[in-house]
C-alpha cells in the first residue's frame, strides 16, 4: 500500500492544477479537502457543481492509489452525482471515498461530500475508474 | 425565448468564473465551447474529467435559459457522465445539449462533448436541473 | 412512522406482481429480499440485471414509506446501478437501502444488493423518488 | 454483422424469460418492443420502472450483438435511467438504442423508451456493457 506522503507527491506532480489536499488514506478509503473561495462559488452563495465533481473525482483517485499503488494512467470511465443540499460558501468541502469493488480492470467507489463540520452530505457520487494493465 | 445575447450577459454576470462561451441556442438545445490550455489538462496529455463535467453543466444551463428565460436559481440535481474517448489536448471542447423533458419542476437533458472537428463524442452526459417556482 | 405490517399490506395491494418481501424497516432504511429461481436467472448461471434493479427500486420505496407513511403516488425519477460481482444463482438477493436525503419533493437513497450470506455487494444503486404533494 | 434472425434465435435460447421482441437491428443501433399487460403495470395505471429498465437492457444487448456478433457473456456493468413521462398502460413499450462507443472491452449506448406511437420518450437510459475477450 502507498503512504499518504507518496500519494501527495504523486498528485502534486501529476495534477498540479488540482486544489485538493489529501487528508487521510485508509483501507479502501480516502478523505480529501478543497478550500472554498470566490473561484468555487456560484450565484446564491453556494459551491458550484463542477467543484464538487472535481473533489469526488480526486477522492476516488487517491483511494485507488492507496489501494493499488501509483497507477498513473487510471482514468475515470463514469461518474454519477446527486446534489442533495446547498453547500456552505464559507466552509471547506470534505470528500470521503469508500471503494466498493476493486476488479482487475475496473474500480467502483462512492464519495460523500460535506461542508466541513456538517454531518449531512451535500452530494453523493458513484464513480468508476479503468485501471491500465 | 431568450436570445443568445441575453443568455451570454446572464452567464457572464452570474458565472464570472466560467470559461465557457455560448456558441448557439436553439429549439430546446444549445452549443457551448471551452478553450483548452494548461489548466484543463491532466497527465497523459488529455482534458481533465471535471472540465468536461463543467462544460456539460454549462451547456445544460444555457439550453434551459433558452427555453425558460432567465431562471436564476435553477440548480443541478443530478448528472451522469460516461467518458468514452481521450479528448485532444490541442482542441477546444464543444458541448452540444438537447433537452429531453421540460417539466414544471424538473428538466432533463443530454450533452455530447467533442474535441472540435471530431465527430466521435469524447463523453456523454445526462443531467437534471430543478427549476424554482 | 409506518410499521412493517402496514408497509407489507400496502405493497401487496399496490404491487401484486412484485416478488420481494420486506425484511425490516428502520430509521431511514429498509431491507428487502427476493427469492431467486429460473425466472430470475440469465445465461452463465447468474441473476439478471433487471431483477437486481427491481429489488433496489422496491427497497427504496419501502424505506420511503417507512419514513413518510403511505405515499401512494411516489415515482422513481432516476436510478443508477453499478454491477460489481456475479450474484449466486442459488441464493436470495438481499437489498439494503439507506436514505441519503428526504426533501420536500425529492428523496435520494442508496441500495447495496447482496447474494444472501455474502458480505461483498453484487451491485450498488443510487435512486431518486419524486413525492407528490 | 449478425442478422436479425440470428439475434432473435440467440435471445430466445439465452433469455427464455425475456418478453421483448426484436423489431430491427441497424448500424450500431436496435429497436425492440415489449407488450404491456397486467404484469407490467403499477398503481396509477402506468408501466413499472423495472420493466422499462429491462427493455433498455435488452435493446442494448441486441444492438451489441448486431455490431459484434454473438458475444454470449457480455454483461451490463452500469445503467442510468431517467424517468420522464408516464407511459401509457395500453401501449407497447418501444426501446430504441444507439451505441455511442464500441471499445475493446467496454461498450456504451443510450436507449430512448417510448409508448408506441408517442414521439416523446417516457424514459432515457445510458448503459455500459463489458465484453469478454
Q: How far apart are CA B90 and CA B32, in angstroms?
A: 17
| End-to-end CA, chain D | 18
B54/A57 touch (CB, cutoff 8 Å), yes or no: no
Residue C92 Cα, gap to closest chain B Cα (Å): 30
Element (H, E) at B111: strand B106-115
pLDDT tier for residue C1 given thresholds of 50, 70 and 90: confident
Residues of A in contact with B14 (CB under 8 A): 42-43
- Contact (Cβ atoms closer than 8 angstroms) between residue C124 and residue C112: yes
- Contact (Cβ atoms closer than 8 angstroms) between residue D80 and residue D126: yes
| End-to-end CA, chain C | 18
Residue B14 Cα, gap to closest chain D Cα (Å): 28
pLDDT 10s digits, A106-133? 999 999 999 999 999 999 999 999 998 7
Q: How far apart are CA B35 and CA C13, in angstroms?
A: 56
User: Nearest to residue B22, comparing CAs of B47, B2, B37, B49?
Assistant: B2
Each residue's pLDDT tens digit in chain D (133 positions)?
789 999 999 999 888 888 999 999 999 999 999 999 988 988 778 899 999 999 999 999 999 999 999 987 889 999 999 999 999 999 999 999 999 999 989 999 999 999 999 999 999 999 999 998 7
Q: How far apart are CA A40 and CA A122, in angstroms?
A: 15
Give residue B120's pLDDT.
97
- Contact (Cβ atoms closer than 8 angstroms) between residue D130 and residue D74: yes
pLDDT 10s digits, B23-81? 999 999 999 999 999 889 887 788 999 999 999 999 999 999 999 999 878 899 999 99
pLDDT 10s digits, A28-77? 999 999 999 988 988 778 899 999 999 999 999 999 999 999 987 889 99
Residues of D in contact with C83 (CB under 8 A): 75-78
Interacting residues of B47 by C-beta distance below 8 A, sequence separation 6+:
B36, B40, B41, B87, B88, B89, B93, B115, B122
Residues of A in contact with D77 (CB under 8 A): 106, 128
Name the pTM for this structure.
0.96
Residues of A in contact with D78 (CB under 8 A): 78, 128
Residues of A in contact with C130 (CB under 8 A): none
Edge-to-edge, what's the strand order for the sheet holding C93-102? C20-26, C29-34, C93-102, C106-115, C123-130, C75-83, D75-83, D123-130, D106-115, D93-102, D29-34, D20-26
Give residue B44's pLDDT.
77
D80/A80 touch (CB, cutoff 8 Å), yes or no: yes
Distance of CA C28 to the CA centre of its chain: 13
* Residue from A100, A106, A131 whose CB has the most chain D CBs within 10 Å, to mutate: A106
Q: Which domains does chain C possess?
A: 4-130 (3.10.129.10)
Q: Is residue B115's pLDDT more than 80?
A: yes
Residue B83 is placed in which grid cell? 467518458
Identify the contact set of chain B against chain D, taking CB-CB distances under 8 A. 80, 82, 84-85, 100-101, 103, 108, 110, 120-121, 124, 126, 128
C49/D77 touch (CB, cutoff 8 Å), yes or no: no
Q: How far apart are CA C78 and CA C128, in angstroms?
A: 5
Give residue D108's pLDDT.
98
* Residue from B78, B86, B111, B131 whose CB has the most chain A CBs within 10 Å, to mutate: B78
* Residue from C76, C82, C106, C130 whose CB has the most chain B CBs within 10 Å, to mutate: C106
Q: Which residue in chain B has the smallest CA separation from D125?
A: B126
Give residue C117's pLDDT.
96
Bridge partners for D48 per DSSP: none
DSSP state of A10: H
Q: How far apart are CA D24 and CA D4, in angstroms?
A: 7
Specify the long-range contacts of residues C9-16, CB closer than 8 Å, at least 24 apart: C10/C65, C10/C70, C10/C72, C11/C58, C11/C61, C11/C62, C11/C65, C14/C72, C14/D42, C14/D43, C15/C58, C15/D42, C15/D43, C15/D48
Residue C118 Cα, gap to closest chain A Cα (Å): 14
Bridge partners for D32 per DSSP: D22, D95
Residue C124 is placed in which grid cell? 450498488
User: Nearest to residue C25, comparing CAs of C48, C50, C5?
Assistant: C5
Ramachandran sector of residue A69 (left: φ over 0; alpha: ψ -120 to 50; beta: rest)? left
Give residue B49's pLDDT.
93
pLDDT tier for residue A1 given thresholds of 50, 70 and 90: confident
Q: How far apart are CA C98 and CA C26, in angstroms?
A: 9
Q: Is residue B112's pLDDT more than 80?
A: yes
Mean pLDDT in residue range C102-123: 96
Bridge partners for C108 per DSSP: C101, C128
Give residue D77's pLDDT.
96
Residue B23 is placed in which grid cell? 456558441
Q: How far apart are CA B75 and CA B131, in angstroms?
A: 7
Backbone angles phi, psi at C17, to 5 degrees: -80, -20
Buried b (16+ CB within 10 A) or exposed e, D60-79: bbbbbbbbbeebeebbbbbb
3-state DSSP assignment of residue C71: coil
Give residue B97's pLDDT.
98
Amino acid at each position: 500500500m502507498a503512504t499518504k506522503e507518496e500519494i501527495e507527491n504523486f498528485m502534486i506532480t501529476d495534477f498540479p492544477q488540482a486544489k485538493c489536499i489529501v487528508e487521510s488514506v485508509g483501507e479502501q478509503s480516502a478523505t480529501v479537502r478543497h478550500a472554498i473561495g470566490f473561484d468555487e462559488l456560484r450565484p446564491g452563495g453556494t459551491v458550484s457543481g463542477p467543484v464538487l465533481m472535481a473533489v469526488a473525482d480526486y477522492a476516488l483517485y487517491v483511494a485507488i492509489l492507496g489501494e493499488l499503488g501509483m497507477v498513473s494512467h487510471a482514468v475515470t470511465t463514469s461518474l454519477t452525482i446527486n446534489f442533495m443540499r446547498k453547500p456552505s460558501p464559507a466552509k471547506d468541502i470534505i470528500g470521503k471515498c469508500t471503494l466498493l469493488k476493486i476488479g482487475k480492470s475496473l474500480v467502483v467507489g462512492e464519495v460523500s461530500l460535506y461542508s466541513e463540520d456538517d454531518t449531512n452530505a451535500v452530494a453523493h457520487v458513484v464513480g468508476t475508474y479503468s485501471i491500465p494493465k
